[in-house]
Amino acid sequence: MSHDLTLRVYYEDTDLAGIVYYANYLKYIERGRSEWLRALGIDQQAMHRDSGHVFAVRRIEADYLRPARFDDLLTVSTELAQASPARLRVDQQVQRDGQLLFAARVTIACLDRQGRAVRLPAVLRTAIDG
């Protein structure tokens, strides 16, 4: 399942030239992953409260291709690339009017309350297996 999130670039997201600061793309794709999980029916707060499961980024491979600018309307796309028993790998893109600005492959690990890698919760496995 893929998911799209639309967001606007605000002045606070940019440098003096009006170009989005590079680290903000990581924030944008974090929001995209959170909304993707929500669209799958995953309540991360309830999951943490009930079972102690949380997600942590293990690896990001990112390509900055073109700049986004103040007031741009962006689309953050998130799509599952691969699932293993304790990890998800997702492909994410940030686009403006169909033009690719940023692309990333993100590996997310599932952790328990002690920070140890654990299997993905059954509810998530069911959601992604569709």
Specify whether 15 is catalytic: yes
First and final C-alpha spacing in the chain: 8
DSSP 8-state secondary structure symbol assigned to residue 112: -
* Residue from 4, 15, 97, 129 carrying the catalytic annotation: 15
Provide Rg for the chain, Cα atoms. Answer: 16
Q: Can you tell me the distance from the alpha carbon of 126 to that of 44, in angstroms, rounded to the nearest whole number?
A: 15
- C-beta separation of 19 from 9 below 8 A: no
Which residues are identified as catalytic? 15
